[in-house]
Amino acid sequence: MAKTSLIYHPDYLKHDISGHCECKERLIRTMDFFQEKGVFDFCKLVTPKPCTEEDILRCHTPEHLNYIKSLCAQGGGAIDGDTYAQPQTYEIARLAAGGDITAGQQVMYGKSDNAYALVRPPGHHACKNHTMGFCYFNNAAIMVRLLQEDYGLERVFLFDWDAHAANGTMDIFRDDPTVLNVSIHQDPHYFYPGTGFVEQTGEGDGEGYTINVPVQAGSADVDYTYLLDKFVLPVLDDFEPELIVISAGMDSHKDDPISGLRLSDNAYGKMTEIFMKAAKKHCNGRLIIELEGGYDVDALARSNYNIVRALQGEKFRNVRGPVPASTLMLARKLKETFGKYHDIK
């Protein structure tokens, strides 16, 4: 059985905007469910510390950091129609990024085989110089940059299965070939944040290292496993990563009110199992997962539980069934677009 660290801090519950879907109950229900299932009997619970301002500035501009810090110091307020700051938001956002860093250090120090950072607020929409989509600082990017600096990592594979395109993460890594950044998400023609198209492939030295996989509304387990098998894993194999990071957003679940995607509880366990196998093949099993979206609290808790089961080495049901024509066409388009950058077998 693998050694798994779960990263959590009760202060994550202090960022609490009344009536907002990104609510403290997301973590309360998961932690209660984990307790019911005895998860803490076989996983190590680790309490993180906040990240430093230096950590944030590896990914964000000073203007962005100072804006969030000053807004919170003045009592908070609306940043946009979706994103609001409270007096404590700056410190809790630092703690969320610190949770991701702690997960990374647990794995890189060899204290655990893998780790899951159960953090909030989320981070994958936070760009270099602005906040959006419930996100303040980009937790995953901040972790990756620190680990690259501390451990000299030259190839990090970052996969985001949240329903929404990881536009902030793409912004931060768009010209960086050391991070192969792949996001599978609902078609942004009709869905937030309105970006994340196949044609957006990165810039400069990073061209070909930003990969968007936009699936149709209604896409389910069979679509995701087909795209992983036929495109994502061949690209990963060619990249030969030294570390795999998963940004896990469960708003792609069939019960979630936010998206039109149709993934089951089983899908999140199966995808984790797939990336566990890839991590063992390429990077001594080093796999870090960090929480992004997911707004049906019961579906989120069940899916989180399946992720942890997979991290412990459990196997999940293979997905069978006909693959929709739209997904077959998408796979062909992805291979045509990225074949000149990667050896896709």
Residues tagged active-site: 125
Sign of torsion over alpha carbons 50, 93, 59, 293? positive
Concatenated DSSP letters of 164-214: S--HHHHHHHTT-TTEEEEEEEE-TTSSTTS---TT----GGGTTSEEEEE
Give SS3 for 289. Answer: strand
CB of 137 within 8 A of CB of 92? no
Q: How far apart are CA 246 and CA 107, in angstroms?
A: 14
SS3 13: helix
Please give the structure tokens belonging to residue 41: 């009997």
26 in Cβ contact with 295 (< 8 Å): yes
Burial of 326 per CB tally in 10 Å (0-12, 13-18, 19+): middle
Of 203, 210, 207, 230, the closest CA to residue 327 belongs to 230
User: What beta strand segments (E) does the chain contain?
Assistant: 4-7, 44-46, 77-78, 84-85, 114-117, 156-160, 179-186, 210-215, 243-248, 287-291
Q: At what angle do helices 139-151 and 89-108 cross, to 10 degrees?
A: 40
Residue 344, helix vs strand vs coil? coil
- CA separation for the pair 217, 53 (Å, rounded): 39
User: Which residue, 115, 124, 343, 144, is CA-closest to 242?
Assistant: 144
